[in-house]
Amino acid sequence: MQIRSCFASRRASGCVSRGALRAALAITLVCGLAKGASGQWTSNPLVNTPIATAPGAQDVCKVAATLDGGCWIAWFSSVPAPINYEVRIQRLNALGEAQFQPEGLLVSDNNSQTSTAGDWDLRIDSAGNALLIFNDIRGGTDREISAYRIALDGTMLWGANGVQLTSNTVDEFDARICQTTDGNFTAAWSRSNSGTTPPRGLIMQRLDADGNRLLAPEGVLIAGSGVGGAGASDGPGFFQMVSSLSGTVIISYLKDTRSFSSPRHPTIQRYDSNGVGLWTSGNAITLFASAVPIAYYMNLVSDGAGGAVVTWHDNRAGGSGFDSWVQKLDFGGIQQFALGGVAVSTNNARFHVGPTAGVIGPGGEIYVFWSERTTSQGTRGLYAQKITTGGTRAWGNGGIELTSFDTVIEDFMRGMPVEPGQPGAICVFKSTPTGSTQDTVLAIRVDGDGNPVWESGTITVSNVPSSKGRFPTAALVGGGIASVWSDNRSDSNDIYAQRINLDGTIGPGTPPGCPANYDFNQDENVDLTDAQLMAQVFVGAISPETGWLDGDMNGDENADLTDAQQVASFVVLGDCPL
């Protein structure tokens, strides 16, 4: 390995003066910083990163992490009638820089009666392309489902108008899409119909890489109207879906949602590529025969081994109270915890509401956060629990209090993972004093014993005086969290986002995919200091200190200014060649 310094031999071919080299490096770094400064993740909670600030309402946002440490963010944008709402999408790189025009890429300007006609979905495929599915009224007056697949450069891979999956005279609502392990795609949605043709229930469709439908033109009924163990008139809904093994998917849903008195039992099933239920002879599993709130979505996450973890709250205890529950099912549909799930708390004097999706730790343990409330719901706090692989409560029967039990309202809790192999979890949540419309976004990290990790306990993600909502979050590749929300700081609603780093800071973090040898001075940060120190060593201005790396970042067996420029490029542009 050679450390090449022009000053070891002034007459070396191609060498220039020390001053010229320093000037050239300074220009490189300054120009790079200028390019990277516009639209980056900000470290100021009073600013945050604007995603969509066009006049009118920007709302119902979604986020999905990309493979390069960035993310896709999509939303509904209000426009004049008859279109009413457009669907738009933006892609941020690892530094938080927008890759499309300021107000995002137009996905669909088909007529849409409302932005809230059921839930919709944004995910990625194995190449990092965006997958979207939603409803609109492009086919007439009823709501139809369409899916889109968008490449990283904005190319519409399934055509400019996507793939329309339904064309009938009834309404389709909630929609989900994911890539399955066989490389194809599964889409599902909820069909509403007061009649019998076509039947109400959950519908599945399969698509190949080109967007061609693989099942019947209108999809296949997988739950409801007598299918999958449902009653003849059951209308299931409010479902979630994750990919499993062997091209299958797992779907959780409420058994029947036709009315307030319907048996809204938490239910789950795994389906093959033809839409056939695979557990318990095709009959979906009722997690517990108790009613959950109307319009309530259970939380469903993959366990990484073909099974899933489900969290929800219900009022099986009777009255108006709610308790929160956790259940884990393996690939075969066997419930790993006690039937009915494990309660996060057994404190019967309080309500336990809104559990987050389970965060699965390195040992298979499950971390859950929820809103702890008095029976009057006037006093609240953020609580957490760890459920062991054996289904026991590791943090006591009442869980751990993370915020003061007072009149401040904690809501929209989102549980997120930490570094691979590390125990613990992060919760991002909204905090609002009772009676106020000014929301603060906070986050807290706990270790495997429930102790706060960050010195300040909670950190402030956004304290702009405004009303905020939605709060989708995504775990970024390489570490960190993207939190996105609707925000009325300027008008009826805009979309803002913030990167939360695992060390308790906000703003730019070290983008992923960076080799360990980019940390030249071994201070556990890859930043411009590494590039500057490398340049000074290579031009002979300073001597490397003990423990510093040799500086051959690009593997050409020479440590020179090319390596320093490569590190600088990575830091300011998010460019990390391997």
256-304 per-position pLDDT tens digit: 988 877 889 999 999 999 999 999 999 999 999 988 888 899 999 999 9
Task: Reply yes or no on whether the pLDDT at 457 is more than 90.
Answer: yes
Q: CB of 511 within 8 A of CB of 570?
A: yes
Dihedrals φ, ψ of 63, to 5°?
-145, 145
**What is the rounded distance in angstroms from the CA atom of residue 480 to the CA atom of residue 498?**
10
Q: Of the given ranges (106-115, 145-154, 346-355), which has the lowest mean pLDDT? A: 106-115
Number of structural domains the chain divides into: 1
Residue 575: its pLDDT value, please? 54
pLDDT at residue number 371 = 98
pLDDT digits (tens, 9 = 90+) for 470-510: 999 999 988 899 999 999 999 889 999 999 999 999 998 76
Paired tokens of 202: 């959950």
pLDDT at 319: 72
Dump pLDDT digits (tens) for 330-346.
999 999 999 999 999 99
In a domain, residue 549? The reply is yes
Nearest-angstrom CA–CA distance, 522 and 530: 9
SS3 state of residue 322: coil
Domain containing residue 534: 2-37+513-573
pLDDT (0 to 100) of residue 411: 95
76-80, long-range: CB within 8 Å, 24+ apart, which pairs?
A: 76/112, 76/115, 77/52, 77/103, 78/115, 78/492, 79/109
The region of weakest confidence among 212-226, 422-436, 529-543 is 529-543
For the sheet with 85-92, list strands across it.
58-65, 71-78, 85-92, 105-108
Reported as a pLDDT band with limits 50, 70 and 90, residue 544 is: confident
Q: CB neighbours (10 Å) of residue 414?
A: 21
- 274/147 Cα distance (integer angstroms): 19
Looking at residue 485, its pLDDT comes to 98
358: nearest Cα among 297, 309, 421, 401? 309
Residue 133's closest CA among 34, 241, 36?
241
Residue 531 lies in a domain: yes
Q: Report the alpha-carbon distance of residue 86 to residue 286 in Å, rounded.
A: 38
Tokens 């639209």 appear where? 39
- pLDDT for position 539: 78
Closest CA to 327 of 317, 335, 315: 335
Within-domain flag for 533: yes
Report the percentage of the chain scoring pLDDT > 90.
69
Where is 528: in which H helix or E strand? helix 528-538
- pLDDT band for position 572 (cuts 50, 70, 90): low
pLDDT confidence bin for 117, thresholds 50/70/90? low
Asked if the structure places residue 245 within a domain, the reply is: no
* Token couple for 200: 């109400």
Spatial separation of the C-alpha atoms in residues 255 and 236, rounded to whole Å: 5
Which of 18-22, 190-194, 497-501 shows the lowest mean pLDDT across its residues? 18-22
Nearest to 312 by CA among 304, 329, 320, 300: 300
* pLDDT confidence band for 7 (50 / 70 / 90): very low
Evaluate whether residue 540 is within a structural domain.
yes
Q: C-alpha distances in angstroms, 193 versus 141, 143, 172, 201, 252?
A: 14, 12, 9, 9, 21
Tell whether 33 is covered by a domain. yes
Helix, strand or coil, per DSSP, at residue 305: coil
Residue type, 495: I
Helices 18-37 and 528-538: angle between axes, nearest 10 degrees? 170
Pairing of the two strands 2-3 and 558-559: parallel
Residue 21 clears pLDDT 70, i.e. is over it? no
Residue 557: is its pLDDT beyond 90? no
Contacts 24+ apart (CB under 8 A), 253-260: 253/202, 253/223, 253/298, 254/292, 254/296, 254/298, 255/230, 255/284, 255/286, 256/224, 256/230, 256/231, 257/294, 257/295, 258/233, 258/234, 260/294
Q: Which pLDDT does position 116 carry in this prediction?
A: 58
Residue 33, pLDDT above cutoff 70: no
Q: How far apart are CA 235 and CA 96, in angstroms?
A: 42
Among the residue ranges 225-234, 428-437, 536-545, the one predicted with the least confidence is 536-545
